[in-house]
Structure 1
Amino acid sequence: MTPKDLDILHAALIARPGFETVPRDALEPMRQKGLAHDHVIIRNTGALLRVPRQSQFALAARDNLEYQLAGFERCAAGGHAPRPLGACQPSEALPMGAVIVDRIEGRPAQLPADLPALAECLASIHILPVPAPEHRPPLADHADPVAGTLGFIEEQAVFLNEACKDRDARRMIGEEVEWARRFAGESAGKPQPVTLVATDTHPGNYVVRDDGRAFIVDLEKALYGAPAIDLAHCSLYTSTTWDIESGVEIAPADVADFYRHYLGCIPPTLAQEIQPWLMPLRRMTWLRSTTWSAKWRVQSRKQRVEAKHAAAATEDWSAENRDQALIAHVEGRTRNYLTAETVDRIRAEWRDPGGLATMIPG
C-alpha cells in the first residue's frame, strides 16, 4: 500500500469508535500474500485491518463487508478464528472499505507438522450448531454442496481452452468434468452433511500461535456447505503448494493422517456422515481449484475494475491490483497446475491401486 493509501485508511479508522486516538504511524502494512486483500496491522491495539481488493463472490462493496463480518463472527465462536471488531465503510477514497478483526500473532503453518493443528481448527468450525435456513443469511447456503461445487467448475471450465495449451492436460481435466457431472446427478436428492465451513482453507490462511493452536484468518468466503471440501482444500497439492511462505508438497501418508486426526476431533455421528463424501469431494475440490487456475490466467490480463464503491459486483482478478512479485508467483503456480504431469499425478490419488483413496476412510 502507498503512503496515500495508508493516509486514507487512517482517516477512515479514526472515525470508528474505539480507534479515535490511533496515530497514523501505528498502521503497518503486511507483506502481500493473497489476491483479494491487503492486511494492515494497527500497532498497540491487538487489531488488524483487512482491506479488500475485490469480492470473490462478486458482491457489491457494502454487501461484501456485511458478508465478511458475519463469516468472522460465526467462525470465531469455535475459538480458532479472529473476532470481528467493526468495519470502515466503502467510499470513493476507500472503494471496498475495510474490516477490523483481532490480530492473531504467530507464525505461518509448517507442513506436515502442523496438519493436526489445522485439522483441529477446521473441526472447531464444523461442529458449531447449524442455524435454521432462515437464519443462515447473509452467508451462502449450499444445501446441495455437490451441485454448488459443480456450478463453480462449469463457470470456470469455459476458460480452459484459452488458458491451458497442454492438450493432454485439457483432455484429462475434461474427463474429470464429465465425471463431476455424473456424480452430481447421482448425488442429487441424497442427504449431504452441511455445516458452517471456511471455504478458503489452504494452509497459507492459518496462523499458528506459540502454544501450537492454529487460527484460520481468512473467512471472506465462509458459508454453509460440505466440511469435506474444507478438508480437501487444506491438503490437496494445489493448496499445499500455493502459498509463498508455507508452500510444500506433502506425502499421501501425511494427508491420510490429517483426515484421521480430523475425524477423531468431531462427534462420531458427524464423522460417519462425512466419510462417504471425503474422496469424491476431494476430487471435485481439486477440479474447482484447477479450473479456477484457468479462469485466473485469462481474467488477470484484464484491466482492473474502477469505482468499486459504486459497482454492483466487485470481482476483479486483474494483475494490476497486486505487486508483480506476487503475480509472478501465482502465474507460476497456475501454470504448473495446468500441466499434464501435475494433473496426472493428482488423479493418481483416486485412480491408482494403493492411492490415497485406499488410505482414508470412505
Structure 2
Amino acid sequence: MLIAQVFSNLRLHLGCTLQCDFDLRQLADKGLAHWHVRLEGTGLLARIPKQSQMGLGPLGNLAYEAACFQRAAACGHVPRLDRVIPPSEELPWGALLVEEITGSPVVGPDHMAPILQALASIHVLPVPTASERAPLLSESDPLYGMLRLVLAQSVYLDHPLISEPSRRTITKRLNDLTVTAPQICDGLAPRLITFDAHPGNFLITPTGKAVLVDLEKLRYSYPPLDLAHATLYTSTTWDVDASFTLSTAQVAHAYEVWMSAAGTIAEPYLAAFVPLRELMWLWSVTWCAKWLTESVKTKHASGAGGEDWSQANSDALLIQHVRSRVDDYLSISTINQVLSEFNELDRLFAHSS
C-alpha cells in the first residue's frame, strides 16, 4: 500500500480512539521498514510498518514490535508505547502509537558515549527465564543462530554486481569465523539486545541522553553485536542524517564506555568483542548482497506479510541513498579497510586485557 493511501486512512482509525483534535504530518522517509507520521499536538508518532524484518505476518509483527518497546521500557532510553492499532483492510500492517522524542540526530563521534550508555542500560536489564522471553527471539545457541542467518544471506554474494575479490574475501572470513567463534563464545550468557543499534536509530535529547527510537528487532543474544552495530563503518555511515566515521581509537573508547556503564556483566564478553564485531559486519555485508537481489522484486500484495525489500515501498531518494551505501560496503577497498580495523582492535584489546 502506498504511503498516500496509508496516510489518508490513518485519521479515520485514530479519530475513534484519541479524544482530541490533531493534524497529521508525514515525516521524511528514512527507513526501509516503517513510515512515521506525527500526530500534531499529541506528543505521539504513528509507526506504520512497510514489511516485517522478522519475516512475520501483520499481527505477529505488531505483537513483536510492541513487545520490543515493552521489554526495553525499564531502561529509560526508549520511547513509551502508547497503543497498538491492529491490522485492517485500510491499514494492512496496523500501526504502533509511540511517544515522540524531542531530540537531534547523532552528528559525530562525540555522541557515541551516550549511545553506548543507552545500550548498556538495555543490556543490564534482568533476563527473563527462557519460557518467558516470547515473542522475542531467544535461541538456545545465539551464535549458531547468527551464523545460520549470515550463511543464509551469503548465497546472495553471487550477485553479478559484487566483484570476485569482494565475494572471495567475505566468504573466506565467514568460513574462518565459523570455525573459530564457537570456542570464543562458549559459555556466554544471552541478554536483551537491540540488533539495530546503528547511530541513525538514536536521537540525542537536549539533556544529552541518547534515546533509541526504532525498536523492532530486539532479541536475547550477545551485547557485543550491538556494540559492533553502533560503531562499524557500515553503521556510522548508513543513515542520511547521521553519517560520520570513527577512528580505531574512537571505537575502542566506545567499547570502554560500554564496559564502564555495563558494570559486572561486561567482562565475560571482552574476548568476544572482535569476533562478534566481525560477525555483525558479515551480517551487514551479506544483507547488502541480499538487498541487491530482493529490492528489484515486485512489491508484495497488501497485507501479505513477511520481509519485503522492494524499492516500491520507499521514496526514490531513500533507495538511491541505500544503493550508494550498499555499493560502498561491498567494494573491496572498504572491505579491506574494515578488516584492517579488526586487526588493530585485536591488538588494542589484547593489550588492555
Query: TM-score, with normalisation over the residues of structure 2?
Result: 0.96
SS at match of 2:78: coil
Residue 111 (structure 1) shift: 1.5
Instruction: Provide the residue aligned with 1:347 in structure 2.
Output: 339
SS at match of 2:298: coil
Residue 184 (structure 1) shift: 4.6
- Determine the C-alpha separation between the residues in 1 that align with 2:325 and 2:310: 16
Residue 2 (structure 1) shift: 4.9
- Determine the C-alpha separation between the residues in 2 that align with 1:199 and 1:102: 21
How many residues in Structure 1 have an aligned counterpart in Structure 2?
A: 350
Instruction: Provide the residue aligned with 2:288 in structure 1.
Output: 293
Residue 35 (structure 1) shift: 0.3
Question: What one-letter code is carried by the residue in structure 1 that aligns with 2:35?
Answer: D
Q: Check conservation: 1:202, 1:240, Cα contact below 8 A.
A: yes
Query: What is the correspondence of 1:195-234 to structure 2 with a 5 Å cutoff?
Result: 195-234=191-230
Instruction: Provide the residue aligned with 1:356 in structure 2.
Output: 345
Instruction: Provide the residue aligned with 2:145 in structure 1.
Output: 148
Query: What is the correspondence of 1:33-44 to structure 2 with a 5 Å cutoff?
Result: 33-44=30-41
Q: Check conservation: 2:127, 2:191, Cα contact below 8 A.
A: yes
Give 1 or 2: higher helix fraction: 2
Q: 2:87 aligns with which of 83, 87, 90?
A: 90
- Determine the C-alpha separation between the residues in 1 that align with 2:113 and 2:68: 23
Residue 186 (structure 1) shift: 3.5
Instruction: Provide the residue aligned with 1:172 in structure 2.
Output: 169
Q: Check conservation: 1:13, 1:20, Cα contact below 8 A.
A: no
SS at match of 2:110: coil
Instruction: Provide the residue aligned with 2:269 in structure 1.
Output: 274
Q: Which sits farther off after the overlay, 142-151 or 170-179?
A: 142-151
Percent identity for Structure 1 against Structure 2: 37
Distance 1:163 1:273, change over 3 A: farther
Distance 1:178 1:63, change over 3 A: same
Instruction: Provide the residue aligned with 2:15 in structure 1.
Output: 14
Q: 1:264 aligns with which of 229, 253, 260?
A: 260
Q: Check conservation: 1:144, 1:192, Cα contact below 8 A.
A: no
Distance 1:255 1:92, change over 3 A: same
Residue 314 (structure 1) shift: 2.0
Instruction: Provide the residue aligned with 1:317 in structure 2.
Output: 309
Residue 185 (structure 1) shift: 4.6
- Determine the C-alpha separation between the residues in 2 that align with 1:336 and 1:163: 15
Instruction: Provide the residue aligned with 2:60 in structure 1.
Output: 63
Query: TM-score, with normalisation over the residues of structure 1?
Result: 0.93
Cα-Cα RMSD:
1.5
- Determine the C-alpha separation between the residues in 2 that align with 1:111 and 1:193: 32
Q: Check conservation: 2:73, 2:80, Cα contact below 8 A.
A: yes
- Determine the C-alpha separation between the residues in 2 that align with 1:50 and 1:154: 31
- Determine the C-alpha separation between the residues in 1 that align with 2:85 and 2:62: 9
